[in-house]
Structure 1
């Protein structure tokens, strides 16, 4: 049974549908951010022709869909990029038994994608739009949590790990001293999670645990991040993965991630301030 909700992202209505206890977002609606009301389906169709898109969709299906037909997927991937290659969402689903996309007719009609895929599609439309989409999606999940008294596991949405959203920011807890952003000796030995932690919070997970031994018994630093910080963290994970694929070294990636974190946090903070002024 599907339940539809609508979120508004930069004045565009985006439908979110619940399917098998998971969330699917209408990417036809997202496409309107690029081309307006009438040509959203064309944008989705062109996106499906892209080889990188098919590789992403195929990888997602192989991770989450045991019935996915890999042979058919390889056939489509071999043709992607050719001028003659055309692939509809319906054909993709029929031939590969994909579950990450579905097409709905009638009211709230359009192409729907699992939230992981929908955010990837939003990146192709506009990275800024994706940022606002994630933020509004999080607002929706918080509202559902308040209404139904169900804990919302934010990391299930952001990266399938068990990090719970908290409204208290990291700064309300003991913050480790030390200038990790300038003294980069730690970087050579750091795992990717700490590259993101320092880029966003300014310190490693171990440093936080050492300063907060009682809290660290049952929690980690990300459990006390704000919604804005978790939103940016999700984007940093995507950017970092792409840079790893590009072969960039850890120092270069860290510097770029710092810049992205600072910029996106400022964007979200400014948006909140504007909203407060408008509401007054």
Structure 2
């Protein structure tokens, strides 16, 4: 789990099946506060545009996505009595782009592509700051991975190097004491 700061709001990022998922709950909290976060997410989910975006993303990335379930929601989008929660969307369509977690680090999380789109519902500047901070985090992770990879390669190659020195550079007629010095 990682956190980034966007407009003085802490946004949580988790890994789900090696993919980055960003907390929509934290993003909504940045706009209105904790008491209204669920309402902001629900209001965004009930728009036709959001449902079109989610459906298209799922069709591209999820072979088990139930298109019929999403079509049912899209037909109701915009009606005054239509309400949709992230849990209901996931349950009825087998969606993988949204994840609802309960407990200490609970909330609604979305794949980074979807979270960036949700950022527009918060505000355009917020979305741009979110993308910038996320990219900064990924660059930092890559720097760390580069260092770790070099360290692991050195560790793996250590015995190869020492064995090569023993076999090729140390004359066989030396004593054990001389060899240890070399």
TM surpasses 0.5: yes
Q: Bigger relative contact order, structure 1 or 2, given CA contacts below 8 A and separation 6+?
A: 2
The equivalences for 1:234-249 within 5 A come to none
User: Which structure features the higher share of strand residues?
Assistant: 2
TM-score w.r.t. length of structure 1: 0.51
The equivalent residue for 2:95 is 98
1:43 aligns with 2:1: no
Query: What are the superposed Cα offsets for residues 230-273 of structure 1, whole Å, 9 maximum, x if unpaired?
Result: xxxxxxxxxxxxxxxxxxxxxxxxxxxxxxxxxxxxxxxxxxxx
1:84 equivalent among 75, 81, 84: 81
Query: How far apart in 1 are the matches of 2:109 and 2:119?
Result: 12
The equivalent residue for 1:205 is none
SS of 2:11's partner is strand
Query: What are the superposed Cα offsets for residues 168-208 of structure 1, whole Å, 9 maximum, x if unpaired?
Result: xxxxxxxxxxxxxxxxxxxxxxxxxxxxxxxxxxxxxxxxx
Query: What are the superposed Cα offsets for residues 6-44 of structure 1, whole Å, 9 maximum, x if unpaired?
Result: 111111000001111110000111112221232111100
Bigger radius of gyration, 1 or 2?
Answer: 2
1:64 equivalent among 32, 42, 61: 61
Query: How far apart in 2 are the matches of 1:51 and 1:81?
Result: 7
SS of 2:35's partner is coil
RMSD of aligned residue pairs (Cα, Å): 1.1
The equivalent residue for 2:131 is 134
Task: List, as ranges, runs of 4+ consecutive aligned residues in structure 1 with deviation greater than 2 Å.
Answer: none
1:31 aligns with 2:41: no
Unpaired segments ≥5 residues, structure 2: 148-182
Query: What are the superposed Cα offsets for residues 73-107 of structure 1, whole Å, 9 maximum, x if unpaired?
Result: 11111011101111111111011000000101122
The equivalent residue for 2:175 is none
TM-score w.r.t. length of structure 2: 0.78
SS of 2:79's partner is coil
Query: How far apart in 1 are the matches of 2:103 and 2:9?
Result: 19
The equivalent residue for 1:111 is 108
